[in-house]
Amino acid sequence: MNIFNRVLVIVLLLGFLALLVASAVLPASFVAWLEAIGAGAQALLVPPVEYIRLGVTAVLLVLVVLLLVLELRRGRRPTVTVRQAGGGTVELGTESVARSLEYHIGQVPGVAKVQPAVVSKGKVVTVALDLELDPMADLRAKSEEVVQLARELVEGKLGLKLASRGLRVKVRQAPYSGGPAGPKPEPPAQPPVAPAEPGAGGPAEA
C-alpha cells in the first residue's frame, strides 16, 4: 500500500501541476477546454449513456472506499512498548515475547506442546496460548498453573501490560501413546505325550 499511495499521490500532483501551468500560460485554451468538457458532460445525462455513467461511478466509488479502508486499517505492530520506571521507552518485539512464553511454559511438567501468539496494540498486548497437555495431566489444575505463569512472565518479568481479557488459553489433550489393552494370547496347545511302557528303558538281562 505504501508504494501504491506514493505513486497515486505523485500522479495526482503532476496532473494538478499541469492544470495550473496550462491555466497560467494558455488561459484562453484552458477556458475553451473547460467549456468543451461542460458541453460534453451534458451528453452524460441522456439515456443510455446515463446508465453507463452510473455504473462507472458505482465501481469507482467502491474502489475508493476499499482503498480508504485499507489505508486507515492499522496493521499488526511488530513491537510493544515496555513500561519503564525511569520514563524511558523500550520497544520489545512480539516474536521475542512469544519465544519467551514458549520456552518457560514448555518447561512446566505435563505440558507436551505450547504455541503462543502475541499481538501488540501499542502499549498493551494480547496473548493466545495453544496448549497440548499430557494425557494423564489434570487439565484444570495445569491450565490454571500455565495462566498464572504466563501472566507473571508477561507483566512481571517482561514489564508488559496485558489488554483487558487479553490472555486466552486453548487446551487440548495429547493422544495416548499406546492402544487399549487387549486379551492376552493363549499359549499354543502342546501335543499329548504317550506314557512309557514298563521295562522299556531298563537294563537288558544277561
When pLDDT is cut at 50, 70 and 90, the band that residue 170 belongs to is: very high
Query: Rounded mean pLDDT of 36-56?
Result: 72
The model's pLDDT over 22-34, given as tens digits with 9 standing for 90+, comes to: 888 888 887 887 7
Query: Rounded mean pLDDT of 85-96?
Result: 76
Tell me the fold of 79-173.
GMP Synthetase; Chain A, domain 3 (3.30.300)
* % of the chain exceeding 90 in pLDDT: 20
CATH 3.30.300.30 domain residues, the chain: 79-173
| pLDDT computed for residue 107 by the predictor | 92
d(CA 58, CA 138): 59
Confidence (pTM)? 0.51
When pLDDT is cut at 50, 70 and 90, the band that residue 206 belongs to is: very low
pLDDT at 127 over 70: yes
| pLDDT computed for residue 199 by the predictor | 56
Higher pLDDT, 112 or 198: 112
When pLDDT is cut at 50, 70 and 90, the band that residue 37 belongs to is: confident
| pLDDT computed for residue 71 by the predictor | 66
Q: What are phi and psi of 126, to 5 degrees?
A: -120, 140
DSSP 88: -
